[in-house]
Amino acid sequence: MANALQLLTIGIGIAGYYALVAVGFAIIFATLRIFHIAHGTVFIAAGYLFFFLYRVYGVDMLWSGLAAIVVAALVGLAIDKAVYIPVMRRGGGLFSVFIASLGVSLIFDAGFLVYTKGVITVARTAPLAIISVGGVTFRALDLLVLAVVFMVYGLLYLWFHRTKTGLAVRGLTDNRGLAAVVGMNVGQTRTLIFLVASALAGIAGVLTAYDTGIAPDTGSRTLFVAVVAVILGGVRNILLGTIFGSLSLGILTAYAGFFFPEWVTFGVFSTMIALILVRPRGVFG
């Protein structure tokens, strides 16, 4: 029993990272119909920059993190401006943009591979503080991650439902053509979406680099899981869907990783294929 609870806490800890990466991917996919595979690249780019500033240059941890998040936001925006917009302007559709996005991650991952030689990069220097409550241990960092997730999702909810730009984002989700017709500035909203989504991936990247560390393929691996989470939850209700998908996958990963460590990927992607078959639009789709 304690074991099951312990695995549950581990699963929720993992789910926090998925939730931060998945929500940005989901917003971009739901509003702009861009399958942004390179979102995973933005995520580890922030992790590496954080490591670089904090450990190599010895910059203060908080400032390193903030700088990494800002740069991540700009990298995401740059990918849209330099790659996706030109592809779409020349008539490329969802699949073409997806292929171009794969190209972006190949380039970045190659760069990270040269820089790290494939070794895992961990930014922290000390073991993590551990808290024990009634036989279940968890890490203090998990609490921080969950607090960040709550804050992010809360702010996103307020943004979507209480502000004019948030209304524009929801408008894009519902009907893109109409949104432009009623005089919405689609270009500006698009910029905003990429900045926000990429900053969220940046937060996850900094935290992951600090916690378990990152390797050049961590970005694409995490992103594929985040994609599954988004498919699981569906994009009709972005926040509810991604939190549900991330939680399910985090818990699945924790249990599968304990009982059948060799079959985790198999489990995650079989779930995805099965779910696409049963409910292509997700549980809340």
Contact footprint for another protein (CB under 8 A): 35, 83, 86-87, 90-100, 102-107, 109-111, 113-114, 117, 224, 227-228, 231, 262-263, 265-266, 268-270, 272-273, 276-277, 280
With respect to another protein, which residue has the nearer C-beta, 161 or 281?
Answer: 281
For residue 104, the minimal CB distance to another protein (Å) is 7
Residue 174 CB, shortest distance to another protein, in Å, is 19
State which residue, 93 or 135, has the beta carbon closest to another protein: 93
Q: How far is the CB of 264 from another protein (least distance, A)?
A: 8
Name the minimum Å distance from CB 214 to another protein. 17
Closer to another protein by CB, 87 or 167: give it: 87
- Taking CA atoms, 98 is separated from 22, 37, 163, 234, 270, in Å, by 16, 7, 31, 19, 22
DSSP H helices in the chain: 2-32, 39-51, 61-79, 85-89, 94-116, 140-162, 164-174, 176-181, 186-211, 218-233, 238-259, 264-278
Task: Return the CA Rg of the chain.
Answer: 19
Nearer to another protein, 182 or 277 (CB): 277
- Is there a contact between 254 and 245 (Cβ–Cβ < 8 Å)? no
Q: In 3-state terms, what secondary structure has residue 132? A: strand
Contact 235, 32 (CB under 8 A): no
1 contacts 136 by C-beta, under 8 angstroms: no
When the beta carbons of 91 and 134 are compared against another protein, the nearer one is: 91
Encode burial over 26-38: b for 16+ CB neighbours within 10 A, e otherwise: bbbbbbbebbbbb
Q: Which is nearer to another protein, 105 or 198 (CB)?
A: 105
- Cα separation, 82 vs 70, in Å, equals 18
